[in-house]
A and B are shown apart, each in its own frame.
Chain A
Amino acid sequence: DVKVTQSSRYLVKRTGEKVFLECVQDMDHENMFWYRQDPGLGLRLIYFSYDVKMKEKGDIPEGYSVSREKKERFSLILESASTNQTSMYLCASSPKPDRPQHFGDGTRLSIL
């Protein structure tokens, strides 16, 4: 089974901090994705990556950046955290863009 592991289940940070969310997958998938999930808004795509060192903006990239230095690892960076970035963050991977995605269990991030 594919395993997508997110580094933290819960995280509390302060406004203005630089925050790193890490995601690792163990199935050699080319594609990796970062979403945030908010009540009433569903899953919204922040960034995705089709290959090492490649990144594409999703629907809501503002205030975020990503890094993919190795195939198995995709990091989401909040450059200067703000309270409106409090959310559940989900990482996913897939072998091809049109194939089903395998999700991690999420990181619930609170920005105070």
Chain B
Amino acid sequence: TQLLEQSPQFLSIQEGENLTVYCNSSSVFSSLQWYRQEPGEGPVLLVTVVTGGEVKKLKRLTFQFGDARKDSSLHITAAQPGDTGLYLCAGVGSGGGADGLTFGKGTHLIIQP
């Protein structure tokens, strides 16, 4: 069974600060997806990383896939209250997703004005 561990579980910081959240596994994933879920809504895809070492940027959000494709990180620069939400990572296993995605339990992020 492939597992994805996300850390920290909860994070509350002030507006303007920088932060990094992590998604780690002992298993190799062919790709990894990051989602954000706001209260009362379903998760929405932010980005997919596919290649080991890949870095993708989405405005103030920077996503990195580990060289060995076992881990990923999300760095937010100058966090804004609109970044508040639950951040989920989800991995596609070596079976090409035949058994569905493997989701981490998420990081609850609160950005205080």
Chain A residues in the interface with B (C-beta under 8 A): 4, 33, 40-43, 45, 48, 56, 58, 90, 92, 96-106
Docked complex Cα distance between A33 and B31 (Å): 19
- Taking the nearest CB of chain A, how far is it from the CB of B41, in angstroms? 5
Residues in B whose Cβ lies below 8 Å from that of A97 = 92, 96-98, 100
Closest to B45 in A: A100
Residues in B whose Cβ lies below 8 Å from that of A99 = 97
Cβ-Cβ contact count across A and B, 8 Å cutoff: 49
Apart from the given pairs A42-B105, A56-B99, A106-B40, 12 other A-B contacts in the complex at a CB distance below 8 Å: A33-B100, A42-B88, A42-B104, A42-B106, A43-B43, A48-B100, A97-B92, A98-B30, A100-B33, A101-B43, A101-B90, A105-B41
B-side interface size class: 20 to 34
- Interface status of B103 (Cβ within 8 A of chain A): yes
Closest to B50 in A: A98
Determine which of A56, A96, A100, A103 lies in contact with B42 in the assembled complex, contact meaning CB atoms within 8 Å.
Answer: A103
